[in-house]
Amino acid sequence: MAHFDIEHLTFSYPGSSVRVLDDVCLSAERGSYVTICGKSGCGKTTLLRHLKSVLTPHGERSGEVRFDGMLLDEVSQRDQSAQIGFVMQNPDSQVVTDKVWHELAFGLESLGCDQRTMRLRVAEMASYFGIQGWFHKDVRDLSGGQKQLLNLASIMAMQPSVLILDEPTSQLDPIAAADFLNTVRKINLELGTTVILTEHRLEEVFTAADRVVVMEAGRIIADADPVSVGEQLRASGNDMVAALPAPMRIFYGVTSPAGVGMTREAAPGDVISHGISSGGVSTSERCPLNVREGRAWLTRAYGGARQKPMIQTTGAKLTDETQGMSQAPGAKLNREERAIEIKDVWFRYARDLPDVICDLNIDIAIGTMHAIVGGNGTGKSTMLKIACGAENPYRGTVRLLGKKTKDFKNGEQFRGTIAMLPQDPANLLVKKTVREDLSEMLQFIPGGGEDAIMEAAQTTGVTHLLDEHPYDLSGGEQQRAALAKVLMTHPKILLLDEPTKGIDSFFKARLANVFSELKTNGMTIVMVSHDIEFCASHADVVSMFFDGSIVTTNTPRGFFSANSFYTTAANRMSRHLFPQAITDEDVIKSCKSITR
Amino acid sequence: MGIESCHPLVAASYFTVVIILTAILDHPVFLAISWFFALMYLVKLEGAHAFRFIGSLVIIAVVFAAVFTANVHFGITVLTHTHLGNPVTLESLAYGVLIGFKIGAVFMWLRCLVDVFTADKVVYLFGRVSPRLALFSAVALRSAPLVGAQMTRLSNAQRSIGLGAGQGSVSRRLRNWVRRVSALITWAIERMAQMSDSMRSRGSSLRGRTAFALVRFDARDRKVAIGLAFLFSIVLFGISLDQARMLFDPEMIANVATPLSFLFFLSYAMLCATPLVILLVSESRFARDRSKVKP
């Protein structure tokens, strides 16, 4: 008997004919680790919410869900509360009480446990999850990662037999996300708790999962072990290939004749013949799921061909791409060439607080996309605030297009010079529809009308969303709607704070297109991001931020190929053979150039 | 280390008793005792910060006394007359001063209470009444600062597109403020929905909720409680003997202080000094222990 059995579940929201879930059949064995993936809006969240009665949305429903062989609706609320743990997306809004210890006990209080039991369970949980150090803290003093771990721990305190997680890491930075997923893995391995998880960051979960389920438009299109699912997706030329972990994408890119970018055109069911493919690589190799396996595979396949000249030619070819830039990054720019000039800047939020920014110097060239990477709490976001003049440094100067930020009076820099897209784009959208939100910006455009709105909407690809409520949009859509609003001020410089946070790979690709189009029109883009892969593929210049200032500035290739920890999966996997390769495409190209 | 480290029930009862006694006892000696120890405790808790508060309380007391005397004219000992010709009496002046200082003492005790009685203690006390009440108080405690933080984020975001608080004309600023508030409400509703999902998912609507607490009623709490109850009983005894009362209308009359009265004064002083004494004793113990540690 499976732990969860979903049989022919079909669901649509009231008043809508769209089937959000369409004849979904899925079963999860006791102790298994099932990952559900798919594009935003494919029905993952709706499916998970059907696994717990209190969360099940209202609407037209047919089919059934069984928990331990019993119809879920017949399982008592008490049993469901304890047995079925549910972790949601937003770490902040799940926390109910104001103290860590109280939150840990929350579920136990609901179940009516006595003090002695609660004391023990809470102690047990705090010890298992390493929470002792912040047990007495206020919840508001925790980082996002700690909050999400607390949510997990407070659910585990009820000793559930199944743990359901709905994109639990989408709001976390990569380090916190990996920590969190490792803890989930640990629970699965050490306690045998069944895990059902949706994710868009597939790097970590693919190695952990026993089974991967891929959904598309409310249907399940693949359901097997990770390697087979990858193969199925590749064979059918599905878009989801782009979301697979880098080692898998590279493997498919090298072994399929068309290359990974072309898989879309391959006819469905076009199975690549086994044996020796045109790349000269045996496709009977098992597809690597993580960097370790990917490295081993590359060494087996190309290690023998490692000859100096070859590497150098590939290296040379790869560096060619960046020569479109007028000057090497880090070189001295003339003042006219600088969009932003930050000179000897020091900043702190209050007199008795430590410096957040110390001795910061950076020049950002006009018309480039400049990415700033670095850990949490190093002052990256503060730097953006200083760059746009929202905060003033206590020492040093900031110039925007040659004019000091101090000389912009009354926030006039925000009308046509610079604009910032904050980390939570929903904070920009305050009206009932996207259209209303955009029209309120018309006050800044003399003589602007409907065409100005359409122009911004077209650039960002939100024309079909104009009449939606901003809160009904997905993360990626919200991001673009907010961007449209920002663009209505016609800024010459655009600041972006974590633009890819919580966004899946498809929306990321669309966002990247929008950015590159803006750049072609002469806009300067400065982006603060944790998303190394995104920066490697789309930025012109990358800077590393650490401890309040910039440590180094370089082209993405120069930057990432010089790092050995803080670099892309593709680079970590292939750096022993192709030190210059930083993106999937680089590695694929390099592999193919060797065999040719 | 002070009374805040005692069980919340002990601390809460203590402050309730002291504040009520301060408010009802009209005898100047009792008031002076309460005022003095409230001041000492507050200064101990807040340091130099407290003096500003205390200074303003003295000013309030004086102003109150002046206004009271100018308007209330009972008593027989006429000191002078107001410009309207009403008598200013010694009795009404004394009573005005007494009330003024009484208000000051109550405020100081309240301030001490706020300083030491943290929110989680309040949640605990609610939990003793009803776990559900405790839950709601905890939710409220968490939500209030979050709303403030969200407002800041909204303002910052809006400012970066030129629709911020300090940008544009006055009417536009006003409109922008309204927009931010409406956006804040939307956000709050959205957030409440998510929080309620998370609560219900963890069984908040089940019957038979309990309230978890980290505190335990230990031997020291018992000792402190018994000691305070003992002192309180003596004071009550004194009150029942009319030792804590003073009449002002029409003339100032109080029972003559007998040796027994000093027992009541002393008990009341000990009662009022308890938190300060607990604090000082535990601090000196720490200091002594630390001095024993060889560097």
Distance separating alpha carbons of residues A385 and B169, to the nearest angstrom = 23
The per-residue pLDDT for A256 is 74
pLDDT of residue A322: 45
Taking an 8 Å cut-off on Cβ atoms, the answer to whether B197 and A55 are in contact is yes
| Residue A525: predicted pLDDT | 95
pLDDT confidence of residue B173? 83
Yes or no, beta carbons of B203 and A96 under 8 Å apart: no
Average pLDDT, chain B: 89
Strand ranges inside A143-190, DSSP E: 162-166
Instruction: Please judge whether B146 and A139 are an interchain contact, meaning their C-beta atoms are less than 8 angstroms apart.
Output: no
AA identity, residue A312 = Q
Unique residue bearing structure tokens 């990626």: A476
pLDDT of residue A70: 92
Q: Give the pLDDT confidence of B238-260 residue by residue, as tens digits.
A: 999 888 888 888 788 888 888 88
Helix H segments across A286-417? 291-302, 308-320, 380-387
Q: B12, B117 in Cβ contact below 8 A? A: yes
Q: Do B162 and A489 touch (CB under 8 A)?
A: yes
**Do residues A247 and A290 lie in contact, with contact meaning Cβ atoms separated by under 8 Å?**
yes
What distance in Å separates residue A243's CA from the closest CA in chain B?
A: 28
pLDDT over threshold 80, residue B270? yes
Q: What is the pLDDT of residue A283?
A: 54
Residues of B in Cβ contact (< 8 Å) with A414 = 159-162, 167
Task: Please name the residues in contact with B45: beta carbons below 8 A apart, sequence gap of 6 or more.
Answer: B2, B112, B115, B116
Helix (H) or strand (E) holding A358: strand A357-365
Asked if residue B87 has a cis previous peptide bond (ω within 30° of 0), the answer is no
d(CA A580, CA A312): 9
The residue written with tokens 């892969």 in the block is: A533
Among A320-334, A493-507, B120-134, which is the least confidently predicted range?
A320-334
C-alpha dist (Å) from residue A55 to A16, B202, B286: 19, 11, 53
Q: Are residue B179 and residue B50 in the same domain, yes or no?
A: no
Cβ contact, residue pair A139, B142, below 8 Å? yes
Is residue A9 within 8 A of residue A23, CB to CB? The reply is yes
Res. B229: pLDDT tops 90: yes
Contact check, Cβ <8 Å, B211/A109: yes
Q: Would strands A194-198 and A162-166 be described as parallel, antiparallel, or unpaired?
A: parallel
Summarize the confidence of residues A161-171 as an average pLDDT.
93
Say whether both B14 and B102 belong to one domain.
Answer: yes
Q: Which of B119, B149, B153 sits opposite A98 (nearest CB)?
A: B119
Could B186 and A427 be called an inter-chain contact, meaning their C-beta atoms sit closer than 8 Å? no
Contacts of A82 in chain B (CB under 8 A): 203
Going by pLDDT thresholds of 50, 70 and 90, the confidence category of residue A317 is low
Same domain flag for B12 and B137: no
Q: Is residue B97 situated within a structural domain?
A: yes
Q: What is the C-alpha to C-alpha distance for residues A157 and A79, in angstroms, rounded to an integer? A: 14
Query: Read out DSSP for A273-323?
Result: PSSB-TTS-BTTSPPP-SHHHHHHHHHHHHGGG--HHHHHHHHHHHHHGGG
Q: Hey, which residues 355-394 in chain A have their CB within 8 Å of chain B?
A: 385, 388, 390
Query: Chain A to chain B, count of Cβ pairs less than 8 Å apart?
Result: 166
A81/B142 touch (CB, cutoff 8 Å), yes or no: no
Same-domain pairing of B107 and B67: yes
Q: Is A153 helix (H, G, I), strand (E, B) or coil?
A: helix
- Residue A310 pLDDT more than 60? no
Return phi, psi of residue A85, to 5°.
-85, 140
A64 forms bridges with which residues in the sheet? A7
List of chain B residues whose C-beta atoms are within 8 Å of the C-beta of residue A118: 210, 212
pLDDT digits (tens, 9 = 90+) for A339-390: 999 999 999 988 888 999 999 999 999 999 999 998 887 889 899 989 988 8
Q: Are residues B19 and B111 in the same domain?
A: yes
> Which residue do the tokens 């929306």 mark?
A507
Is there a contact between A115 and B154 if contact means CB atoms under 8 Å apart?
no
Residue A568's SS3 state is coil
Please state, in angstroms and rounded to a whole number, the distance separating the CA atoms of residues B178 and B173.
9
Residue A545: strand, helix, or coil: strand
Is 80 exceeded by the pLDDT of residue B110? yes
> Residue A65: is its pLDDT beyond 90?
yes
- The alpha-carbon gap from A588 to the nearest alpha carbon of chain B, in Å, equals 41
Same domain, B85 and B141: no
The CA distance from B131 to the nearest CA of chain A, in Å, is 8
Contact flag B205-A415 (C-beta cutoff 8 Å): no
Chain B residues in contact with A428 by the CB 8 A cut-off are 157-158, 161
Q: How far is CA A88 from the centre of its chain?
A: 16
Which chain A residue has its CA at the smallest distance from B204's CA? A110
- Give the mean model confidence (pLDDT) for residues A88-111: 92
Token pair listed for A348: 């702190």
Tell whether B114 is covered by a domain.
yes
Burial (CB < 10 A; 0-12, 13-18, 19+), residue A21, is buried
Task: Identify the H or E element spanning A361.
Answer: strand A357-365
* pLDDT above 60: residue A265: no
DSSP string, A84-144: EEEE-S-HHHH--SSBHHHHHHHHHHHTT--HHHHHHHHHHHHHHTT-GGGTTSBGGGS-H
| Amino acid code (one letter) for A584 | D
Q: Do B158 and A122 touch (CB under 8 A)?
A: no
Tokens 């100047």, residue? Answer: B28
User: From its phi and psi, is residue A3 left (phi > 0), alpha (psi between -120 and 50) or beta?
Assistant: alpha
Q: A138 CA to chain B: closest CA distance, Å?
A: 9
Per-residue confidence (pLDDT) for residue A276, from 0 to 100:
37
CA B157/CA B166 separation, integer angstroms: 13
Do residues B73 and B177 share a domain? no
Cross-chain Cβ contact B202/A107 below 8 Å: yes
A102, A158, A430 ranked by CB distance to B212: nearest: A102
In a domain, B17, yes or no: yes
Q: Where are the domains of chain A?
A: 4-224, 225-278+288-325+564-596, 329-417+491-554, 426-489
Same domain, B196 and B223: no
pLDDT score at A68: 92
Nearest residue of A to residue B124, measured between CA atoms: A102
* Judgement on whether residues B269 and B142 belong to the same structural domain of the protein: no
Full domain range(s) for residue B134: 130-201
Structure confidence at residue A66 as a pLDDT band (50, 70, 90): very high
Total domain count for chain B? Answer: 2
Chain B residues with CB inside 8 Å of A415's CB?
A: 162
A72 has a chain B CB within 8 A of its CB: no
Contact B77, B251 (CB under 8 A): yes
Contact call for B142 and A78, based on CB within 8 A:
no
Tokens 């600023």 found at? B173
Cβ–Cβ contact A95 with B under 8 A: yes
Domain membership flag for residue B227? yes
B222 with B196, same domain: the answer is no
Rounded to an integer, what distance in angstroms lies between the CA atom of residue B44 and that of residue A492? Answer: 57
Q: Does the residue B267 lie in any domain?
A: yes
> Quick check: A444 contacting B, CB < 8 Å?
yes
**A258 falls in which pLDDT band (50, 70, 90)?**
low
Of A183-192, A310-319, B98-107, B267-276, minimum mean pLDDT range: A310-319
Q: Does the residue B181 lie in any domain?
A: yes
CB proximity A118 to B under 8 Å: yes
A423, closest residue in chain B (CA to CA):
B157
Question: Best interface-test mutation with B: which of A86, A93, A429 has the largest number of B CBs within 10 A?
Answer: A93
Q: Which of A11-25, A338-352, B19-33, B78-92 has the lowest mean pLDDT?
A: B78-92
Nearest of A333, A328, A351 to residue A343 by alpha carbon: A333
Q: Does A18 touch chain B (CB under 8 A)?
A: no
Cβ neighbours, 10 Å, residue A454: 14
Chain B contact for A221 (CB, 8 A cutoff): no
Q: Tens of pLDDT along B30-78?
A: 999 999 999 999 999 998 888 889 899 999 889 999 998 888 888 888 8
DSSP state of A340: E
What's the CA gap between A588 and A260, in Å, rounded? Answer: 9
Q: Are residues B107 and B177 in the same domain?
A: no
Q: Tell the CATH topology of A329-417+491-554.
A: Rossmann fold (3.40.50)
Q: Is residue B163 part of a domain?
A: yes
Query: B223 in a domain, yes or no?
Result: yes
pLDDT value at A336 more than 70: yes
* Chain A environment of B136 (Cβ under 8 Å): none
**Quick check: A285 pLDDT over 80?**
no
CATH of A4-224, one of 3.40.80.10, 3.40.50.300, 3.30.70.980, 3.40.50.720: 3.40.50.300
Distance from the Cα of B212 to chain A's closest Cα (Å) equals 6
Residues of chain A with Cβ-Cβ distance to B126 below 8 Å are none
Whole-number percent of chain A with pLDDT over 90: 51
Residue A445 at interface with chain B, using a CB cutoff of 8 Å: no
**Quick one: B86 and B43 in the same domain?**
yes
Nearest CA-CA distance, residue B12 and chain A, Å: 21
Q: Which residue has the higher pLDDT, A266 or A467?
A: A467
